[in-house]
Structure 1
Amino acid sequence: MKNSFLTITFLLLTVFCSYISLAQTEKEIAPPYNIKTISFLQSDRNVIPIFKLGEGFQLQFDDLFANEANYYYEIIHCDYNWNPTAIPKNEYLEGFDNQRIQDYTNSFNTLQIYSHYKLSIPNQFTQQLRISGNYIIKVLDENKEVVFSRKFILCEDLVTVPMQVKRARTVDNIEMKHNLDFTIKSNTITFQNPLKNIKVLLLQNGQLNSGIKNISPQYTIGNDLIYKYDSETQFWAGNEFLFFENKDIRSASNNVARIDSKTPIYGSYLYTSAARANFPYSFTQDVNGNFVVNNLNSANNEIEADYAWVYFSLSAPTFRLNKNIYVTGMFNNYTLSPEYKMEYNPKKAIYEKAILIKQGFANFEYKVADEKGAIDYENTIDGNFYQTENEYTILVYYRESIDRYDRVVGKGMANSINIIN
């Protein structure tokens, strides 16, 4: 009798632990040093990974070991808070995952050798993703250990989200923040209990890990949900992204001061950036953090674009916070890891960092964060200016009482270049 009780207790604990492990929040896993230039593409262009349900896309990356290693992929459907959903895989995925990535090619005519991998969704194994929502894709090695993971979102087109970007409603931040006013409208869905069934995600320049969440509608007019908050929907405006271009790594180009060709891999030394927080706002055209792989002298940029050491330097004499400065952008998924943390050079009185980046054009920015990765937007190196041009996206999640997952039923987009008071 005692043994039977212990057996039942053990089984219950096993089931409970399995449930807890399944419910753990999925976070993006940064890649190891040899994995570079991870990007989602549509029509051969790097894009923010928010796609319409049924659209195709690609995930691409390079392996600097260039040993044609075997990589596999796994796709996991998640809820609004990025917890894996309990629905069976065959309900959200037609076909199979956990398959080997078969499309790979070695680099050609480059100083830094690498293997370039491409995973298309859909493909012969994964015919389609059936439902909308949050997804995370994991790339695994031969031992089925996770090498890296990336989030992406599939959305439907059942609601419209007219929105406006306004200056901050709070006087203290009127020069430094953007505020989003928006409405959710639908001719397809009747919102029975919007406080419970509707959730939104507000994004600045498509940065999935720094969005504003858990905002309820302020009030309703008929079937329209109205969001006109003063502070809850505000973003620090930041400043325009910086950029460099080294599509010809043998000669200095835009924002590249000089080239070092004496090393096995070319070095691109950028002009030293000055901290812009205490300077007046100045408009410079950017692509809101994006990057383009480009070799001026190649026919196929995917495998003929080379890698170069890009040397960043920053003059920030008034920076006194006990925090770190990182170089980030879409080229590294805004990752705050030691690989991108700047070091202070006391002899030159500047911050420096060398990063291996695939040649082309790239936007970047300097982010201030503590050791735990909490970003200090208020005390940013380059300041916050309401004139800054940012792209804003709002995603609408909908879950009926009988549903088992959070659908993404629509999105809205607006640019702060059309900001109003």
Structure 2
Amino acid sequence: MKKNIQLYLKSLLLVGLIQACLPITNPTQTSQEPRSQKVFTTANYVYERNIHTVLLYPNTAGDRQQDMLKPAVNQFNQRTPLLLEFDELGNSYQDYHVRIFHCNFDWQRSLLNNIEYLNDFNDFLIRDYQLSFNTKIPYVHYQFELPPVKLPGNYVLAVHRGSDENDLVLTRRFIIFDNKVAIEPDLDISSNPSFRDRNQQINFVIGYNNYEILNPQVDIKVMIRQNYRWGNAIANLQPRLIKEFQKILEYTFFNMENNFPGLNEFRRFDHRSIRFLGFNVANLTVTDSLVVATLQTDQPWVGRPYVRRSDFNGQFVVEHYETGRGMLESDYVATQFSLKTGETVPGEVFVVGGFNDWQLNPENLMIFDELTGVYFTEILLKQGIYDYFYAFKPSPQSPIDIPYFEGSYQETENAYEIIVYHRPLGGRADLIVGYKAFNSTQAR
């Protein structure tokens, strides 16, 4: 009975949140966190609950949906800019500014001054904004093309309101690389026999024949990322073998330092249209003020045989099926997720994916309904196609456990990136001198 009451209250909370955002007349009331409690972070983070659908991707001026699936990565001196997009629920424009910060390998801010990595003053006004058209929930859509930078490396952009740099709205990571070294990946089954059927091992070689590295053991740092996630990236790998005459660094390990769980192919739903039921959508309820999409009830996939399925490797695209103008005409839909477990599990259950940067918060926390044996949550999402997983968190201190519900298989198709950092002699910051993106099916 207590669980049912919690479920009911969560639904009321979502409806209240939507109503509270229409319209926004006082920007000081929109903060998810009081201004005094907003602490700058170099992680991807949204500070205000009425900010939704944050995207940062290379704007090739081609297929926008394909661009959205790309990570926030760009080549140094590349003419294709990175494009920031986000929505603010309501119908009032806010005066938003962008600042950009250079960071080291560990995502701590570097010692570089603004003038060392930017050509312009580090305060950019977002001038491109439009009000949504013909949507039940109005919103203002903002977009901003990032300026070019003078140096490769890790970067974080911060959006703040007006002239107050402490009134933060969101932060977003991106990287700029300048390939000075060559990276050759080799994906293999795990060297640990106990994990060979469920892990993927990333071996690789770095060649620096045309680039000077005085002390590779100290000067070179490497990061490996799976499916564009920073939270589970592998860092601080040291080369197992240095071939000085051939200018080669070998990264092959036998203690699982370079292992990722293979996981499973992502679950997916499609609610680009509210006129018919898209993939994995069981029901649509359309009122004058809100659209509710109830997804098919999911089952745990752990223990089942691996099945190859097409996915976006955890990402999502925004789209309006009927008009093709998703950024301004896609509505925000109360999307209901359900996972049938039959009984409670010894921890918390969340819905995660690229749509929420894999973060755990009250919005994607699931509540167990004892009458149906189902975990349930409702999340406000813009019309589109979304990948997602169910994640288990045994305790507040433990990391999320995705294989708990989804299973893990070495055959799974995953996206990987290897990022190589170097701090030159006398340098004051880590620079990205190598970047390699590859698919697990391509590197075998």
TM over 0.5: yes
The equivalent residue for 2:160 is 140
Worse-superposed segment, 222-231 or 44-53: 44-53
Q: Residues 61 and 116 of structure 1 are in contact (CA less than 8 Å); yes or no, is this contact kept in structure 2? A: yes
Q: How far apart in 1 are the matches of 2:419 and 2:343? A: 38
Q: How far apart in 1 are the matches of 2:319 and 2:120? A: 35
Q: Residues 167 and 419 of structure 1 are in contact (CA less than 8 Å); yes or no, is this contact kept in structure 2? A: no
The equivalent residue for 1:20 is none
1:14-53 → structure 2 map (5 Å cutoff): 26-41=42-57, 42-43=59-60, 44=64, 45-46=67-68, 47-53=70-76
After superposition, give the CA deviation of every residue in 1:224-278 in whole Å (9 maximum; x if it has no partner): 0000112100001111100001111122111101111146211111101100012
Q: Residues 56 and 71 of structure 2 are in contact (CA less than 8 Å); yes or no, is this contact kept in structure 1? A: yes
Q: 1:235 to 1:319 in 2, by over 3 A?
A: farther
1:362 aligns with 2:386: yes
In the TM superposition, residue 121 of structure 1 has moved relative to its aligned partner by: 1.4
Q: 1:373 to 1:188 in 2, by over 3 A?
A: farther
State the SS of the aligned residue for 1:208.
coil
Worse-superposed segment, 364-373 or 302-311: 364-373
After superposition, give the CA deviation of every residue in 1:169-209 in whole Å (9 maximum; x if it has no partner): 10111111100010001232133211100000000011123
In the TM superposition, residue 54 of structure 1 has moved relative to its aligned partner by: 2.5
Aligned residue among 177, 200, 203 for 1:178: 200
State the SS of the aligned residue for 1:410.
strand
Aligned residue among 275, 278, 286 for 2:311: 286
Q: Structure 1 runs of 4+ off > 6 angstroms?
A: none
Q: How far apart in 2 are the matches of 1:34 and 1:281? A: 39
In the TM superposition, residue 343 of structure 1 has moved relative to its aligned partner by: 1.1
1:217-236 → structure 2 map (5 Å cutoff): 217-221=239-243, 222-230=246-254, 231-236=256-261
In the TM superposition, residue 380 of structure 1 has moved relative to its aligned partner by: 2.5
In the TM superposition, residue 365 of structure 1 has moved relative to its aligned partner by: 1.1
1:407 aligns with 2:431: yes
1:94 aligns with 2:112: no
Identity %: 28
After superposition, give the CA deviation of every residue in 1:127-179 in whole Å (9 maximum; x if it has no partner): x2110111111111133311111111111111111111111110111111100
Q: Alignment length, in residue pairs?
A: 391
In the TM superposition, residue 312 of structure 1 has moved relative to its aligned partner by: 0.5
Q: Residues 390 and 402 of structure 2 are in contact (CA less than 8 Å); yes or no, is this contact kept in structure 1? A: no
State the SS of the aligned residue for 1:129.
coil
In the TM superposition, residue 342 of structure 1 has moved relative to its aligned partner by: 1.1
Q: Residues 56 and 85 of structure 2 are in contact (CA less than 8 Å); yes or no, is this contact kept in structure 1? A: yes
Worse-superposed segment, 113-122 or 262-271: 262-271
Q: Give the unaligned 5+ runs of structure 2.
A: 1-39
State the SS of the aligned residue for 2:197.
coil
2:178 maps to a residue whose letter is E
Aligned residue among 228, 231, 250 for 1:206: 228
1:400 maps to a residue whose letter is P
State the SS of the aligned residue for 1:380.
helix
Q: How far apart in 2 are the matches of 1:249 and 1:49? A: 30
The equivalent residue for 2:86 is 61
In the TM superposition, residue 373 of structure 1 has moved relative to its aligned partner by: 6.7
Q: How far apart in 1 are the matches of 2:193 and 2:226? A: 21
Q: 1:394 to 1:373 in 2, by over 3 A?
A: farther
Q: Residues 131 and 407 of structure 1 are in contact (CA less than 8 Å); yes or no, is this contact kept in structure 2? A: yes
2:319 maps to a residue whose letter is N
Q: Residues 204 and 211 of structure 1 are in contact (CA less than 8 Å); yes or no, is this contact kept in structure 2? A: yes
Q: How far apart in 2 are the matches of 1:28 and 1:139? A: 11
Aligned residue among 216, 220, 234 for 1:194: 216
State the SS of the aligned residue for 2:231.
helix
The equivalent residue for 2:173 is 151
In the TM superposition, residue 405 of structure 1 has moved relative to its aligned partner by: 0.7
Q: Residues 344 and 351 of structure 1 are in contact (CA less than 8 Å); yes or no, is this contact kept in structure 2? A: yes
Q: Give the unaligned 5+ runs of structure 1.
A: 1-23, 123-127
Q: How far apart in 1 are the matches of 2:231 and 2:149? A: 23
The equivalent residue for 1:351 is 375
After superposition, give the CA deviation of every residue in 1:305-350 in whole Å (9 maximum; x if it has no partner): 11111111011247633x2221111122222111111111111111
Q: How far apart in 1 are the matches of 2:427 and 2:321? A: 51
Q: 1:156 to 1:373 in 2, by over 3 A?
A: farther
Q: TM-score, normalised by structure 2?
A: 0.84
Q: Residues 25 and 83 of structure 1 are in contact (CA less than 8 Å); yes or no, is this contact kept in structure 2? A: no
Q: How far apart in 2 are the matches of 1:173 and 1:376? A: 19
Q: CA RMSD in A?
A: 1.8
The equivalent residue for 1:19 is none
